[in-house]
Structure 1
Amino acid sequence: MGIYHRPDKLKDALHLLASAPVTLASGCTDLFAATEAAALEGQILDLTNIAPLKTIENCHGHWRFGAAVSWSSIVGAALPPAFDMLKAAARQVGGVQVQNAGTLGGNICNASPAADGVPPLLALDARVELQSVSGMRYVPLSAFITGPRQTTRRRDEIMTAILVDEGKAQGSSAFLKLGTRKHLVISIASVAVRLRLNGDRVAEAALAVGACSPVACRLGAVEAALSGVRVDTVEQHVMEADVRAALAPISDIRATSAYRLDGVPSLVRNALILASGRGKALE
């Protein structure tokens, strides 16, 4: 391994990133696994010792998740029900060791189509905060990931936080994933659902699907169809054609594209049942 940097101040990390080519590390649960060599090459900049990147707080009208917050920290945080889907995803990212080491920012920046953290954050209309020595900018998560392993992060930038506006942190939520087993598995498909009600009617629905297109995506047509319907009938308004039209799955070692297209509508209905608070999902 080359030179390993682990600063405790963000300004030091930013100056180092601006001065030399380095590989950013934030948990390494994907970085090491993707390394074909016996060790990481070149200079490594570990971000997990920078305290402000490891906090979760509610301030200035939004929830702020430091980019180096671990999955275990998310599970243990006092968050409103709109984040239950993110907590459910966190509980299913690998085993406990991976949940302790892996980070939310790392999951996003790795930009895997199957990243379990992305669909819940899309359903929360999350934004990412990016900093460099030149300043700070914000990008909607929906625009940040542009393809498999591709993002709009510039070489001199560090993702420092993920932000969710208070207005979007409303309602109840659920997350489900389809895999060959319940844990320690990469998603064949994943679904995140958030419902905000007005009495017994759906005032707002947000649904996102992962692992079924180059980038996780929202189901806009399904969301529109759910607006105003009674909460005890939400699953009945999910049209398979609307779900499938938003997806572009591939066939890989985990599943065929046809299997994914067949499975996602049922996954969406089940997640809606859970988010509506009506007990167990359908088999």
Structure 2
Amino acid sequence: MGIYHRPDKLKDALALLEDGRVIIAAGCTDLFAATQAQALGTGPDEVILDVTGLSEFRGIQQVAKGWRIGAGASWSDVVATPLPAAFDMLKQAARQVGGVQVQNAGTVVGNICNASPAADGIPPLLALDAEVELLRPGGVRRMALVDFVTGPRATARKGDELVSAILVPHCSATGASAFEKLGSRSHLVISVAMVAARLEISEGHVAGAAVAVGACSPVAMRLPLLEAALIGAPIADLSRAISDSDFADILQPISDIRGSAAYRLEAVPELVRRAVLAAASGPLQ
């Protein structure tokens, strides 16, 4: 029989990491789905570390250098927390991550650690230039989210590390944003494709742009060529910049039961158009 731990002190959680391979649990909405067992901790060598008891991991706060989303913060916390308009795309994604029960239990950090190509939280966080904070018994390190997710279900987290938070710098928490998701229905569905866009508008022109696509490559990706094409463009002419962009060269979608690669490539330009124009129209009301 395995062992289940839910410490309320960070030092105790970090000490467990030194004892060998540990399965880290938070909301468990992905973790339970990934196992055939009736319950966690049933294997003879399994050590389960539940981080939901750590007060340091809770909540979403504004800090000196930006915004901090704790590892225990749920999707419902994202929706309920007053945040700048740049986070609207993350709030929109949060409202589409399963049903309310999943949103109450599932965590944003768990979503990035699960590292599914169709993880709804990753495109908005990429468009926010998010960083990942990792704790280990010997200290802390931070790395860009784009470097943290290394492939399908793969991250750069080491075995003796805990992801403690997602960090969004002040300089990226600006402008307005929007999220578009394509699925077989509007909710409770894994994405066929999704797009997050954040724009900064000055005097009727785009002063800054961040656009990310998910479920169309092994990891979600920013679109730097499109972003460059959007900067300086007048709001009235954004559709032209999008239509002139070629997404096939950068995206690598697969064909699966949700949709073919060709269908995904055909859908992305329209999703990009909708997200960019929604972001250009200003904050959500």
Give the TM-score normalised by the residue count of structure 1.
0.96
Give the match for residue 144 of structure 1: 148
Q: Is the 8 A contact 2:226 2:245 kept in 1?
A: no
- Within 2, Cα distance between the matches of 1:39 and 1:279? 43
**CA root-mean-square deviation:** 1.4
Mark the CA change 1:240 to 1:233 in structure 2 (over 3 Å): closer, same or farther: closer
Q: Is the 8 A contact 1:232 1:276 kept in 2?
A: no
Give the match for residue 2 of structure 2: 2
Partner SS state of residue 243, structure 1:
coil
Partner SS state of residue 245, structure 1:
coil
Within 5 Å, give how 1:1-283 maps onto structure 2: 2-40=2-40, 41=43, 42-239=46-243, 241-277=245-281
Q: Is the 8 A contact 1:273 1:279 kept in 2?
A: no
Q: Percent identity?
A: 58
Deviations 1:179-224 (A, max 9, x none): 0000000000010000011211100110000000000000111001
Q: Is the 8 A contact 1:240 1:265 kept in 2?
A: no
Mark the CA change 1:233 to 1:154 in structure 2 (over 3 Å): closer, same or farther: same
Deviations 1:22-51 (A, max 9, x none): 200011000001101222231110011111
Partner SS state of residue 16, structure 1:
helix
Give the TM-score normalised by the residue count of structure 2.
0.95
- Within 2, Cα distance between the matches of 1:255 and 1:225? 29
Residues matched between the structures, number: 280
Identify unmatched segments of 5+ residues in structure 1.
none
Q: Is the 8 A contact 2:112 2:119 kept in 1?
A: yes
1:253 Cα deviation after fit: 1.0
1:235 Cα deviation after fit: 2.2
Amino acid at match of 1:37: A
